[in-house]
Structure 1
């Protein structure tokens, strides 16, 4: 149920929080370019994309990985599959580390620019704008009230 996510120079590691066993390991070398699919009308523009499901507050990220000679699309919301995901404290830092890792270790992989603006990350220096995030939260709360 609870998974710890570690992003480092080797890739993305998913660990079981209770016994520290590796649940899944995605090295940077397993990331691959998105292929043009025959049943899709428009070719994909970016390798790493995100969408926000209708009943969710969090973006779901998608990117292709090569596992056992098969390209599959991996998805993650960087919530650690935590029971109280809304309180997952370092989600923005995980997304930032993910984007930095893609830029540093796989510069051939393209990232949808909307990911940066949706998560208050500057695409030039990868700094998180916490003030802008707070302003949006306060304005959203005032609007709801």
Structure 2
């Protein structure tokens, strides 16, 4: 088991980036507005015949209005459960929701999950990314510490530090649980200090960029060879 060298466990709270929050929300709003405008104009684009436009409009616009209504309801329900803040302390992790309630995941409830794995805290692939997973009262649970899995009101800029702090809390308060060593490598966490290792993270990013550049170069080379021969 990893040894925690810190004498005390200091709580950590999420930090928000006003600039990135504004940019992401603005970009999302512009894209959605453009999509809705394009769909609203669709009957006028399918034909120049006014009769055809009327027939298509009579069929399309009720469906479009219903789809828009369902989408707005989905967004409202999603945002009702969105998080405003994430706190990690000696009891566990706490998600303060937009509607005023708080969801708690205490260390005491963590344990093995139903998945067959030699570790209690491990990685699971979700949409080509790795998520931290563990058992919560026997049920496999995953967490994303920037709030994107729940829907965040604002962009959380210290999500990696929050994840490292949560793993530190598990190691300190639940030493009976085993943590997959791959967790530390995947999330660039120092295995003894339980801090986010920015140097290792930048190394991973650089390796990924070099691999991408190499694949692009190989693809261009193959295309050139096929053209010549």
Q: In the alignment, what sits opposite 1:27?
A: 106
The Cα shift of 1:140 comes to 2.7
Aligned to 2:146: 79
Match of 2:118 among 42, 45, 48: 45
**Is residue 169 of structure 2 the alignment partner of residue 101 of structure 1?**
yes
* Residues 44 and 144 of structure 1: CA distance in aligned 2, closer, same or farther (over 3 Å): closer
User: TM-score, structure 2 length as denominator?
Assistant: 0.50
CA distance in 2 between counterparts of 1:49 and 1:56 reads 16
Deviation of 1:143 (Å)? 4.1
Q: Which residue of 2 aligns with 1:123?
A: 191
1:90 aligns with 2:158: yes
Check the 8 A contact 2:135/2:141 in 1, yes or no. Answer: yes
Greater radius of gyration (CA): 2
| Structure-2 change in CA distance of 1:139 and 1:74 (3 Å) | closer
Bigger fraction of residues in strand: 1
Match of 1:60 among 116, 123, 131: 131
User: Which structure 1 segments of 5+ residues have no match?
Assistant: none
Write the distance in 1 (CA, Å) between the matches of 2:210 and 2:201: 14
2:179 is aligned to 111
Root mean square deviation, CA, Å: 2.5
Structure 1 residue 118, shift from structure 2 partner: 0.8
The structural deviation recorded for 1:142 is 4.5
| Cα displacement string for residues 25-56 of structure 1 (whole angstroms, at most 9, x for unaligned residues) | 11111112x26x6xx7xx52000111222x34
Distance in 1 (CA, whole Å) between partners of 2:128 and 2:91 is: 30
Paired with 1:51 and 1:84, the residues of 2 have a C-alpha distance of: 25
The answer to whether structure 1 residue 10 and structure 2 residue 91 are counterparts is: yes
Write out the 4+ residue segments of structure 1 that deviate beyond 6 Å after TM superposition: none
CA–CA distance in 2 between the matches of 1:120 and 1:60?
13
Cα 1:122–1:14 change in 2 (3 A) is same
Name structure 2 gaps, 5 residues minimum.
1-78, 214-229
